[in-house]
Structure 1
Amino acid sequence: MNNPEKKIVIFDDDEDILSICSFILEEQGWTVHAFTECNNIVEKVSAILPNVILMDNWIPDDGGIIATQALKKDEKLKSIPVIYFSANSDIELLANHAGAETYLAKPFDLEELERVINAVLVNNN
């Protein structure tokens, strides 16, 4: 059976979140690429071309909004769904401002993470 590789990129400067998310997603068959900063984000994402991107609001150096906007301005990358995640109470506004497809408030449980990822994949196909 032909099972194309499922790739996800996570941008978060919190090592604990990166390791937990990576572990859970790898268990579900994802290839996880994790970054603790978003410098040269267009180049990073272009090299991987993931199915989904998880973007933290407080990622160094530019921050999640500028990083997401940079991706959405790029012709090759703009259709990749971005899930914006943050502990900020204005997460919905921030995600909309960034141009992300959806958002996930921190702290989140793993079922919620899976549900949001699956939802953007369904909507993107």
Structure 2
Amino acid sequence: MDTNLKKILILDDNEDILEMVKEAMLSEGYDAESISATNDIIQSVKEYGPDLVLIDYLLPGINGGELCHHIKTNPETAHIPVVMLSAYPRVLASLGNYGSDAFIAKPFSLEELTGTVKGLLDKAEHAAV
């Protein structure tokens, strides 16, 4: 496996969306891991070591915004860009963005998704230099 591949962690409870987004990330040349649930987002992030995380807002139990907040307030993971995905952009707008780096409303085009991911990865890479 190419260790230079950027790693994307995808969290969504909809299997169809998980599969579609994972395929899109793989076709763009990224290493992608998809999960439909997690009890500990920090542990999931530490285990996989993603360069970027995509999180659905509406998840069973804890919402994706809270998971994003956990990532962004943990010193070990705060630098990782997080993109929130949701079919309910008004809900997210009224609750704040939880520190996410980008928001994409569902349904979205794969071009919008891959463009956002590439832009955030490029920005993070330049910030690290």
User: TM-score when scaled to structure 1?
Assistant: 0.90
Structure 1 vs Structure 2: percent identity of aligned residues?
28
Matches within 5 A, 1:13-28: 13-28=13-28
The reply to whether residue 119 of structure 1 matches residue 119 of structure 2 is yes
**Distance in 1 separating the partners of 2:121 and 2:73:** 20
Q: Distance in 2 between matches of 1:44 and 1:94?
A: 28
Distance 2:95 2:118 in 1: 18
Deviation at 1:45, TM superposition (A): 0.4
Q: Which moved more, 1:91-100 or 1:33-42?
A: 91-100
SS at match of 2:88: coil
Unmatched segments (≥5 aa) in structure 2: none
In 1, Cα distance between the equivalents of 2:61 and 2:97?
18
Q: CA RMSD in A?
A: 1.8
1:5 Cα deviation (Å)? 2.0
1:73-84 to structure 2, matched below 5 A, reads: 73-84=73-84
The AA in structure 2 aligned to 1:70 is: H
Q: How many residues get paired? A: 124
Q: What is the rounded CA distance, in whole Å, between the counterparts of 1:83 and 1:94 in structure 2?
A: 17
- Structure 1 runs not aligned, ≥5 long: none
How far apart in 1 are the matches of 2:3 and 2:66? 34
Runs of 4+ in 1 over 6 A off after TM superposition: none
Q: How far apart are 1:60 and its partner, in Å?
A: 2.5
In structure 2, the partner of 1:30 is 30
* Partner Cα distance (1:7, 1:96) in 2: 27
* Partner SS for 2:75: coil
TM-score, normalising length: structure 2: 0.87
Partner of 2:39: 39
Tell me what 2:86 maps to: 86
